[in-house]
Chain A
Amino acid sequence: MRHRWVSVLICAAVSAAATTACGSGGASQSSDGKTELTIATFNEFGYEELFKEYEAAHPDVKITQRKTGQGQPHHQNLFTKLGAGSGLADIEGVEEGYLSQVMSKAGQFNDLNEIGPKLEAGRWLQWKTDAITTKDGKLIGYGTDIGPLAMCYRKDLFAQAGLPSDPEGVKALFATWDSYFAAGDQFIAKVPGVAWFDSAAQVFNAMHNQHETGYYDKSDKLVVDTNPDIKADWTAVTTAVGKGQSARLAAFSNEWNTGFKLGKFATKTCPSWMLGVVESQAGPENKGKWAVTDAFPNGGGNWGGSYLSVPKQSKNAKKAAELAAWLTAPEQQIKAFKAKGTFPSQVKALDAPELLEQTNAYFGDVKAGALFATQAKKVKAAQYKGPADGQIQETVFSPALQSVEQGKNAEEAWKTAVEGAQKAAK
């Protein structure tokens, strides 16, 4: 409040002598004449040191970070304030899981191809950029990090089942989904009381995201009941559930955590950030039992990762886009990786020595950075996401698969899922 008065007084005094643009900046112009850029992030983007670096190089910019602990409240805030028409930061972080909802409101974000600085071609992995490009070619976000998928598995349990257990040997088991489920049959026959995977929904989502067309086709028509790939995945997963391959544990629930501790399942679909989850849930008593390999059934996949976007509400869109472009350059993203372990989405960063040399002690000193860089390059294409895509996955298909795990008939559950998807898409 007091600063406001001071600046008003100074403006009044100065404007007599010179023609300065006092007040035109509104709330985004701080009292010392700097442009204030706000950036809203969640969890850990690892940008704290980078902000200082940018401010030092750009004395006219002051960066304020609004940090939310978790993704869910951050995005709830994002959508509410998009609706309200004001109150958003100049740069808003967007997580991959909320991408479909953001893309359906793409008109409220700036096209970064248009307002952003000219960038080198091919900065990001193609699929990463494709996912946030609208049908008419507008880029509404710069990629930050990704979550390439690999397979985590229990070495000791594999050995007990008579399966190969070294990272090279298991690759044949994880070549395709057919070989994966076949190995599962073999496993559960040999090791009673232990399941092959943790949860049907976890496996299904990974399978589903590998298809070029998912719940929607490119004209935003819901194709849940006509896309043969979805039904094929459904049948494969629910058949495996019927044979007892699933530990029937909803991901991230308390019982799921207990399942890790007790070693109740032998494999886990593992995005790069999952290694930390496995380590904290399985705990030190299981150290050395988990391993990860650079193979994933039917190629690769991605789960998670974020973007930086500039809403049209921003009064400093151009400068915000410059900052966002700088933050998401390979050099900066490698620093963020070193600070908080966010896995970079930039092609050049994937070849950086800092990344390639990173190891993970819990997983037997595996070269995790190089492993996930390999996996990131295996992702073929970004699946087109329709308006209610995220909601269909979270509130329709995952619960329906869980109901099969609870003993419901797979055919009936499929009908429920299709109806639920149609309702959600309305």
Chain B
Amino acid sequence: MSRLDAKVSPYLFVAPFFVLFGAIGLFPLLYTAYVSLFDWEVGADDPTFIGLENYRTLFDDGQFWNALFNTFSIFVLSSAPQIVIAVAIAALLNENLRARTGWRMGVLLPYVASLVALTIIFGNLFGPQYGLVNDVLTAVGIGPIDWQADTFGSHVAIASMVNWRWTGYNALIVLAAMQAIPREVHEAALVDGASPLRRFFSITLPMLKPTLIFVIVTSTIGGLQIFTEPKLFEPSGGSGGGTEHQYQTVVLYLYQSAFQGLDLGYASAIAWVLFLIVIAVAGINFLVTRRAVR
């Protein structure tokens, strides 16, 4: 009895995770792959099997490539500055500041605020006709930018929402890693006469490597799946991502195909292609980061 207990119970203890993962993670993933092989309309009686036809259509679909470009553009505009700024903020927070905890909590505040509320406020700020940002730009003589019509402008607007929300969060993760760096290493460098800048680049950054890899991989996964911000940025509430899909991301296109076009098979194909792209990009980022930060 007790031997059986010793053999079986560890598996029982970890089972809940795997059962849940199987039910709400793995099963939908595989079922999506299955659905993507059909011409499956919502409400259709019997979907027809069409093999890889959905994928073939997808690779010929200009709107998909446009969505992919938008996704990467927004991802680069958000993740790259975000991580640089996060490391800089972490370095500042790591200094001897007055009311340290207050500052540290402060950078986390945007993360606590509701994403939807935040996006609506940013949407108002970036309003093309009556938005505050354009009022300021006009006042300083740059002139208004049509944040809805202009592809690059809309990407900047959306990336600024992402940065506002996630920079502080990432800064705190980096800060925790910075504090784990042994003091002795810094002291030794100090004795050798290394400047603060030199110490940052030669000691702090290399020792942050595992954390930076984590931060970059998670922001890749999140960034490539961006949905809420572009969805709510559309003034009329549609899922087109702008009048000419200027800021329609892949997930937004997926949503539009599934819930406006009611074409579940095609949407599933988009989901799977996106899944593979996310894995590939996260893998590349992992390798690059591991090599670059030595």
Is the pair B148, A252 in contact by a Cβ cutoff of 8 Å? no
- Partner-binding segment picked from A207-215, A279-287, A355-363, A395-403: A395-403
Is the pair B128, A79 in contact by a Cβ cutoff of 8 Å? no
Is the pair A254, B123 in contact by a Cβ cutoff of 8 Å? yes
> Taking the complex as formed, is B44 at the interface, i.e. its CB lies under 8 A from any CB of chain A?
yes
> Taking the complex as formed, is A250 at the interface, i.e. its CB lies under 8 A from any CB of chain B?
yes
* Known contacts A79-B262, A254-B123, A403 near B243 by CB under 8 Å: yes
With contacts A80-B43, A250-B236, A255-B131 known, what are 6 further pairs, Cβ within 8 A?
A83-B44, A101-B262, A254-B124, A399-B244, A408-B243, A416-B244
Residues of A within 8 A of B242 (CB): 399
> Taking the complex as formed, is A186 at the interface, i.e. its CB lies under 8 A from any CB of chain B?
no
> Taking the complex as formed, is A58 at the interface, i.e. its CB lies under 8 A from any CB of chain B?
no
Closest to A403 in B: B243
Residues of A within 8 A of B123 (CB): 254
Interface residue ranges of B233-262 to A (CB < 8 Å): 235-240, 242-244, 256, 259-262
Interface residue ranges of B205-256 to A (CB < 8 Å): 235-240, 242-244, 256
Is the pair B235, A399 in contact by a Cβ cutoff of 8 Å? no
Is the pair A253, B235 in contact by a Cβ cutoff of 8 Å? yes
In angstroms, Cα B131 to Cα A33, docked, is: 60
7 pairs of A and B residues whose beta carbons are closest in the complex: A253-B235, A406-B149, A83-B43, A403-B243, A250-B236, A402-B243, A250-B235
Our count of residue pairs bridging A and B at CB distance below 8 angstroms stands at: 73
> Taking the complex as formed, is A258 at the interface, i.e. its CB lies under 8 A from any CB of chain B?
yes
CB distance from B26 to the nearest CB of A (A): 22
Is the pair A79, B42 in contact by a Cβ cutoff of 8 Å? yes
Specify which of B42, B130, B148, B239 is in contact with A83 (CB 8 Å cutoff): B42
> Taking the complex as formed, is A407 at the interface, i.e. its CB lies under 8 A from any CB of chain B?
yes
* Known contacts A254-B123, A400-B243, A416-B244, A394 near B235 by CB under 8 Å: no
Residues of B within 8 A of A424 (CB): 261
CB distance from A106 to the nearest CB of B (A): 12
Specify which of B43, B120, B149, B260 is in contact with A394 (CB 8 Å cutoff): B260
> Taking the complex as formed, is A4 at the interface, i.e. its CB lies under 8 A from any CB of chain B?
no
Is the pair A254, B129 in contact by a Cβ cutoff of 8 Å? no
Interface residue ranges of A62-85 to B (CB < 8 Å): 76, 79-80, 82-83
Specify which of B43, B44, B127, B262 is in contact with A254 (CB 8 Å cutoff): B127
0 or 1 for each of B122-165: is its CB under 8 Å from A? (1 = yes): 01100111110000000000000010110000000000000000
Which of B149, B236, B239 gathers the greatest number of chain A CB atoms within 10 Å? B236
Which of A108, A248, A259 gathers the greatest number of chain B CB atoms within 10 Å? A248
Closest to B148 in A: A406
In angstroms, Cα B246 to Cα A408, docked, is: 13
B interface secondary structure, majority: loop
Is the pair B129, A403 in contact by a Cβ cutoff of 8 Å? no
Is the pair A255, B127 in contact by a Cβ cutoff of 8 Å? yes
Interface residue ranges of B26-43 to A (CB < 8 Å): 42-43
In angstroms, Cα B43 to Cα A416, docked, is: 29
In angstroms, Cα B262 to Cα A82, docked, is: 12
Closest to A394 in B: B238
* Number of A residues, CB within 8 Å of B: 33
Closest to A254 in B: B124
In angstroms, Cα B243 to Cα A406, docked, is: 9
> Taking the complex as formed, is A251 at the interface, i.e. its CB lies under 8 A from any CB of chain B?
yes
> Taking the complex as formed, is A391 at the interface, i.e. its CB lies under 8 A from any CB of chain B?
yes
CB distance from A272 to the nearest CB of B (A): 22
In angstroms, Cα B238 to Cα A9, docked, is: 53
0 or 1 for each of A75-112: is its CB under 8 Å from B? (1 = yes): 01001101100000000000000000100010010000
In angstroms, Cα B261 to Cα A76, docked, is: 12
Specify which of B43, B120, B129, B259 is in contact with A249 (CB 8 Å cutoff): B129
CB distance from A411 to the nearest CB of B (A): 15
Residues of B within 8 A of A398 (CB): 236, 238
Is the pair A391, B129 in contact by a Cβ cutoff of 8 Å? no
In angstroms, Cα B243 to Cα A403, docked, is: 5
In angstroms, Cα B59 to Cα A183, docked, is: 49
* Known contacts A105-B43, A258-B130, A394-B260, A252 near B236 by CB under 8 Å: yes
Closest to B264 in A: A83
Is the pair A255, B235 in contact by a Cβ cutoff of 8 Å? yes
Closest to A404 in B: B243
In angstroms, Cα B261 to Cα A258, docked, is: 31
Residues of B within 8 A of A249 (CB): 129
0 or 1 for each of A310-352: is its CB under 8 Å from B? (1 = yes): 0000000000000000000000000000000000000000000
Closest to A199 in B: B236
* Known contacts A250-B235, A394-B260, A407-B149, A255 near B130 by CB under 8 Å: yes
Closest to A104 in B: B43
In angstroms, Cα B238 to Cα A253, docked, is: 11
In angstroms, Cα B124 to Cα A353, docked, is: 45
Is the pair A80, B236 in contact by a Cβ cutoff of 8 Å? no
0 or 1 for each of A244-266: is its CB under 8 Å from B? (1 = yes): 00001111111110110010000
In angstroms, Cα B240 to Cα A248, docked, is: 18
CB distance from B65 to the nearest CB of A (A): 15
In angstroms, Cα B245 to Cα A408, docked, is: 14
Residues of A within 8 A of B256 (CB): 395
Closest to B57 in A: A426
* Known contacts A83-B42, A253-B236, A254-B124, A395 near B260 by CB under 8 Å: yes
In angstroms, Cα B236 to Cα A323, docked, is: 36
Is the pair B235, A254 in contact by a Cβ cutoff of 8 Å? yes
Is the pair A255, B129 in contact by a Cβ cutoff of 8 Å? yes
In angstroms, Cα B161 to Cα A129, docked, is: 48
Closest to A82 in B: B43
Closest to A78 in B: B43
In angstroms, Cα B131 to Cα A408, docked, is: 22
Closest to B44 in A: A83
Closest to B120 in A: A254
* Known contacts A252-B236, A255-B129, A407-B149, A399 near B42 by CB under 8 Å: no
Is the pair A79, B243 in contact by a Cβ cutoff of 8 Å? no
Q: What are 30 inter-chain pairs, A to B, with CB distance below 8 A?
A: A80-B43, A82-B43, A83-B43, A83-B44, A108-B43, A248-B129, A250-B236, A251-B236, A252-B236, A254-B120, A254-B124, A254-B127, A254-B235, A255-B127, A255-B128, A255-B131, A255-B235, A256-B235, A258-B129, A258-B130, A259-B129, A391-B261, A395-B238, A395-B239, A395-B240, A399-B242, A399-B243, A400-B243, A403-B244, A408-B243
